[in-house]
Amino acid sequence: MTAPITISRRSALQGAGALIVSFSLARAGFAQGASETPEGKAAPHLPGSLAVDPHLDAWIRIDADGSATVFTGKAELGQGIKTALIQVAAEELDLPPARITMITADTGRTANEGYTAGSHSMQDSGTAIRNAAAQVRELLIAEAGKRLNLPAGQLKAENGAVIAPDGGRLGYGDLVGALDLHVAAAEISTLRDPKSFKILGTPMRRVDIPAKVTGGAAYVQDMRLPGMLHARVVRPPSYGATLKQVDMAAVEAMPGVARVIRDGNFLAVVARREYQAIKAMRTLAAAAEWQEDAHLPQQGDLAAFIMGMPSKDYKILDQHGEAGAAVLSLEVTYTRPYMLHGSIGPSCAVAHSEDGAVTVCTHTQGVYPDRAAIAELLRLPPDRVRLIHVQGSGCYGHNGADDAAGDAALIASKMPGTPVRLQWMREQENAWEPFGPAMVTKARAALDASGRIVDWNYAVWSNTHLTRPGPAGTLLAGQHIAEPFPVPEPKPIPLPEGGGDRNAIPIYTLPNAEVMHHFLPDMPLRVSALRSLGAYMNVFSIESFMGELAAAANVDPVAFRLNHLDDPRARDVVTLAAERFGWDGRPKSQDGRGCGFAFARYKNLAAFCAIAMEIETERETGRIRVRRAVAAVDSGQIANPDGLRNQIEGGILQSASWTQYESVSFDTARITSIDWATYPILRFHAVPDSVEVHLIDRPGLPFLGAGEAAQGPAAAALANAVADATGQRMRDLPLTAAKLKAAIGV
């Protein structure tokens, strides 16, 4: 067995080999091709990301053997986007998926599609690839028509070839030689009729899974380049701490240590072996003396602190009309704590500086914006820096990925010629990643005698949900070096996407409604985008409140929602989730069991998602367990139904974890939730018996992002079920056992 295993290891490492090739390509390719800034060629009238780069060959290239290489500026984050985009290209090109190679986010090769975030990938990149593929197919058909002297209308594309009426075939590889695909896309594409789809909409197996379940080189954490050294950083003990002194000599003498780096408050070690780097990191951390200067808020009184912070106020909805007389009104406050992304694999990057150019392999969500930050950090022109996305552990938003890329690039730039792999430690990830911000919401509504909402008033207090790169000051390394870069002013994300106010405007039909966004510029804790941003909290609040109002009106919660819902697609998902759950015949609330329902359209413009949940609670301990969840989802045209189900299932479980357990803890200066004991998340004992996801396909309608659609509805369905099960309305996240026990305990 010796030989075969060795060989299979080698072949499994081909991923890393390919990256080595890319490293040299990086130098040859600097300042040309797709890495140039897209400004000069923007075409805003074109669909999806074709507006960023209209050239067909920026998206699709046909190789001489008739296979295709497809380029996306989006990154695979473990959500199956690579596979879904292959399906899109395969469908419109009429080419078997196995003959398509998908190149993902790489500043040296792909268009600048910004961030892979906000459930935008199918809308942006899927749309661009679909249109580009359709146009390439039509160009191939036209070329075949020229050769055969036949009108294009008599020819069809099938399985990688153009077929003539007499059955003659011209392969794409034969045709492409005469074609120039470096042409701007047309405004209108001849798209395939969804009724004839063969690949799109079918549950294709994900292309990245085999390597992941066999130990193949699947992650940036697994990259091993020749001559590569291992780095670790030593972070300050708290925000803003300054390094008074450190004795580096003892660390430099440790076995395997190649370099100890100090640049202001930035400290790092580089060693031959990974564990040597870890030991050196610990010794260096022990030797460092810091002056701490952080003043964090009182955790016990977070809501009052947040509402007392200076704010910039925006009225984001103000509508008034005829309505019945109010007979009843309710006013409540909801709160959420700071929350972790908490990737299972701490952030990692591999960087290499050579001939004045730096290449970084990173699991960032935005290779171009992170490149801008790193170029500024290293004081290099952007065209001397290349970022290549390589998968990491799931990120769920802006975690430590960009910072780790910055750390690795800075270290590598101080050691030209040596590839450097840097990984954060668990405690660094937990203490230094930008958290999902703590938030407070206040809701007030009035009902008329018929149980209709006649007045709605809602306010949300929140930090920004966006401190991503851009500028070098967004990176920890940029803040910690001797000549630091300024941290940019936080800004709210404008609606309709929104940040803290994402989904703050209810989708329900309301005669009178006012919604305020209190934007809080001061950030005592480092914060940024966590999956679904403010939507998690706003949907939790609005949908909990809908449950409270339905109870006050004595109307069934599903009927209450339908009474206020006009959008037919919204009504369809609500009805389907209720039906499949068996809502009308659901078990009565008894013995600590109960059911809850919630619904939202993500961002009010992406996927529709309704969730019904049955839970059980334990009186003695206050413990909650979801027994079953049933979701219904409409995300427009479905690319990969199994991939979509996987996303929604995952969203429900992740949101159940956020909602039941999670809260960043801190004392007056330091973050104290630095591992999985101090920041507990969902474990198997609390995993539901079943989770069902029902999909409504809308062939021919636009792709709607669904990757974040379940987060808010799952949280509110859970809280509504707790209220049903125990009679206790819990409004202060997380809904921990301790809180529930205090409310109902014996």
Partner 1 sequence: MTQLMVNGQTREVDADPDTPLLYVLRDDLELHAAKYGCGLGQCGSCTVIVDGEAALSCVTPLLLVEGRSITTLEGLGTAEDPGPMQQAFIEEQAAQCGYCIAGMMMRAQALLQKNPDASDAEIREALEPHLCRCGTHMRILKAVHRAAGLMRAASAAPAKGAA
Q: Enumerate binding residues for ligand FES (CB under 6 A).
A: 78, 344, 394
Please, what is the minimum distance in Å from the beta carbon of residue 119 to ligand FES? 18
CB burial of 537-551 (b: ≥16 within 10 Å; e: otherwise) equals: bbbbbbbbbbbbbbb
**Window contacting partner 1 (CB under 8 A); options: 167-175, 419-427, 538-546, 695-703:** 419-427
Q: Out of 119, 393, 418, 441, point to the residue binding partner 1 (CB under 8 A).
A: 393
* Least distance from ligand FES to the Cβ atom of residue 394, Å: 4
Q: Which is nearer to partner 1, 497 or 692 (CB)?
A: 692
Nearest approach in angstroms of CB 621 to partner 1 is 17
Q: Does 215 bind partner 1 (CB under 8 A)?
A: yes
Closest CA relative to residue 365, chosen from 104, 646, 128, 25: 104
By the rule CB under 8 A, 394 interacts with partner 1: yes
Compute the least distance from the CB of residue 209 to partner 1, in Å: 5
Of 211 and 330, which has the nearer Cβ to partner 1? Answer: 211
Q: Which of 129, 163, 138, 105 is nearest to 46 (CA)?
A: 129
What are the phi and psi torsion angles at 460 (to 5°)? -130, 135
Per-residue binder mask for partner 1 (CB under 8 A), 247-266, x = binder: --------x-----------
Q: Which of 682, 695, 721, 735: binder of partner 1 (CB under 8 A)?
A: 682
Contact flag: residue 299 with partner 1 (CB under 8 A): no
If phi > 0 it is left, if psi is from -120 to 50 it is alpha, else beta; for residue 573 that is alpha
Pairing of strands 513-519, 453-462: parallel
Structure tokens belonging to residue 696: 């409504």
Q: What is the largest CA-CA distance in the chain?
A: 86
Residue of 52, 60, 77, 387 interacting with partner 1 (CB under 8 A): 77
Check binding of 362 to partner 1 (CB under 8 A): no
The stretches of 612-710 forming alpha helices (DSSP H) are: 641-661
Which of ligand FES, partner 1, none does residue 212 bind to, with CB < 5 to 8 Å depending on kind?
partner 1
Cα of 155 vs its chain's centroid, Å: 42
Q: What is the C-alpha separation between 706 and 569, in angstroms, rounded?
A: 15
Residue 286 Cβ, how far from partner 1 at the closest point, in Å? 17
Query: Is there binding between residue 244 and partner 1 (CB under 8 A)?
Result: no
Q: How far is the CB of 219 from ligand FES (least distance, A)?
A: 11
Q: Quick one: three-class SS letters along 693-728? A: EEEECCCCCCECCCCCCCHHHHHHHHHHHHHHHHCC
Say which entry of partner 1, ligand FES, none residue 224 contacts (CB below 5 to 8 A, set by partner kind).
partner 1
Question: What order of strands is seen across the sheet that includes strand 60-62?
Answer: 60-62, 68-71, 100-103
* Residue 538: CB minimum distance to partner 1, A: 21
The rounded distance, in Å, linking the Cα atoms of 323 and 673 is 49
**According to the binding rule CB under 8 A, does residue 211 interact with partner 1?**
yes
Nearest Cα to 215, choosing from 451, 15, 417, 454? 15
Shortest Cβ 650–ligand FES spacing (Å):
8
Q: Which of residues 714-743 bind partner 1 (CB under 8 A)?
A: none
How far apart are CB 393 and ligand FES at their closest, in Å? 6
414-18-383 Cα angle (round to 5):
45
Q: Which is nearer to ligand FES, 472 or 714 (CB)?
A: 714
Q: CA-CA distance, 395 to 389, in Å (whole number)?
A: 13
Residue from 205, 312, 320, 491 touching partner 1 (CB under 8 A): that is 205
Of the residues 22, 467, 617, 657, which one makes contact with partner 1 according to CB under 8 A: 657
Name which of 233, 230, 222, 234 is nearest 276 in CA terms. Answer: 230
Q: Which does 355 bind (CB under 5 to 8 A by kind): partner 1, ligand FES, none?
A: none
Please select the residue that binds partner 1; options are 30, 59, 197, 219, rule is CB under 8 A. 219
Least distance from partner 1 to the Cβ atom of residue 195, Å: 26
Q: Which residues of 66-100 are buried (b: 16+ CB within 10 A; e: fewer)?
A: bbbbbbbbbbbbbbbbbbbbbbbbbbbbbbebebb
- 400 lies in the site for partner 1, by CB under 8 A: no
